């Protein structure tokens, strides 16, 4: 019985869409990102990172860091205004979209 409960808990934890963002809404939000990161997250130039297929938790962490300006780097200043107005839900939606590509 304990094994079955553990298996169920792990399965739900790994695949539960209730915990993820809304990738359809993320697709709409990503239109503002397309000029640099491409329509599906494949960058338009070598100067920009590819976001397609990236881990959602990582993308959420990075976008929040840009939003609060704690992420540093030579090109971070470009992302500060882009992330400044994103809500936590919008960040989760963007991350879900790019992770699903």
Domain-embedded: residue 4:
no
Element (H, E) at 63: helix 56-67
pTM score > 0.75 for this model? yes
Domain-embedded: residue 6:
no
Domain-embedded: residue 1:
no
Domain-embedded: residue 11:
no
Residue 46, both tokens:
């070598």
What integer best gives the mean pLDDT of the chain?
A: 87
Range of the domain at 73: 18-99
How many domains does the structure of the chain reveal? 1
84-93: average pLDDT: 98
CATH code, domain with 79: 1.10.760.10
What tens digit of pLDDT does each residue of 29-72 get?
A: 999 999 999 999 999 999 999 999 999 999 999 999 999 999 99
């Amino acid at each position: 019985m304990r094994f079955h409960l553990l298996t169920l808990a792990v399965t739900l934890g790994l695949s539960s869409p209730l915990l993820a963002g809304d990738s359809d809404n993320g697709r709409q939000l990503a239109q503002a990102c397309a000029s640099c990161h491409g329509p599906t997250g494949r960058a338009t130039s070598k100067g920009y990172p590819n976001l397609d297929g990236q881990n959602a938790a990582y993308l959420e962490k990075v976008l929040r860091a840009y939003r609060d300006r704690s992420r540093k780097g030579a090109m971070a200043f470009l992302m500060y205004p882009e992330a400044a107005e994103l809500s936590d839900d919008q960040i989760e939606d963007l991350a879900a979209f790019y992770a699903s590509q």
